[in-house]
Amino acid sequence: MTRVNTVKADYLVATVPLTSLDQDVTNKLAGLTIDGTFRRLYGYAGFVKDNLFVGDNGTRLLLQATGSRANDAISLIETSWAGLSVARIDIQLTVLVVDADAIIASTMPPKPYKAIRITNLGERGSTLYVGSPSSRCRLRLYNKTAESGEERIAGMERLRIELQCRDSYADRGLINMKANAGDMFFRYYVLKMTDGYITAIIDKAFRHSDLVSMVDTVTAKSEDSRKQWLEHSVLPAIQKLSIQDREYVKHFIARLNEIID
How do residues 78-106 score in pLDDT, each as one tens digit?
999 999 999 999 999 999 999 999 999 99
For residue 108, the Cα-to-chain-centroid distance in whole angstroms is: 23
Structural domain containing residue 116 = 8-221
91 and 81 fall within a common domain: yes
pTM equals 0.81
3-state secondary structure of 179: coil
178 and 197 fall within a common domain: yes
Gap between the Cα atoms of 45 and 62, Å rounded = 9
pLDDT for res 72: 94
**Residue 1 resides in a domain:** no
96 and 193 fall within a common domain: yes
132 and 231 fall within a common domain: no
3-state secondary structure of 85: strand
Gap between the Cα atoms of 1 and 210, Å rounded = 10
Domains in the chain: how many in total? 2
131 and 237 fall within a common domain: no
3-state secondary structure of 146: helix
Determine phi and psi for 30, rounding to 5 degrees: -65, -35
In order, the DSSP letters of 7-68 are SEEEEEEEEEEGGGS-HHHHHHHHHTTTTSEEEEETTEEEEEETTEEEEE-SSEEEEEEETH
For helices 182-193 and 167-178, the axis angle rounded to 10 degrees is 140
CB 47 within 8 A of CB 55: yes
pLDDT for res 235: 80
186 and 251 fall within a common domain: no
**CB-CB neighbours of 83 under 10 Å:** 16
137 and 250 fall within a common domain: no
46 and 100 fall within a common domain: yes
Gap between the Cα atoms of 252 and 233, Å rounded = 16
pLDDT for res 232: 66
Gap between the Cα atoms of 5 and 15, Å rounded = 23
What is the mean pLDDT of each successive set of 10 residues along the chain, which is 261 residues long? 83 96 94 95 94 96 96 94 94 96 95 92 93 92 93 93 95 94 95 94 92 73 59 76 84 83 66
Gap between the Cα atoms of 87 and 14, Å rounded = 6
For residue 131, the Cα-to-chain-centroid distance in whole angstroms is: 14
User: Quick one: CA torsion of 36, 17, 43, 48, rounded to 10 degrees?
Assistant: 10
User: Quick one: CA torsion of 1, 177, 198, 65, rounded to 10 degrees?
Assistant: -120
**Residue 2 resides in a domain:** no
pLDDT for res 1: 43
Gap between the Cα atoms of 223 and 44, Å rounded = 19
Gap between the Cα atoms of 121 and 153, Å rounded = 23
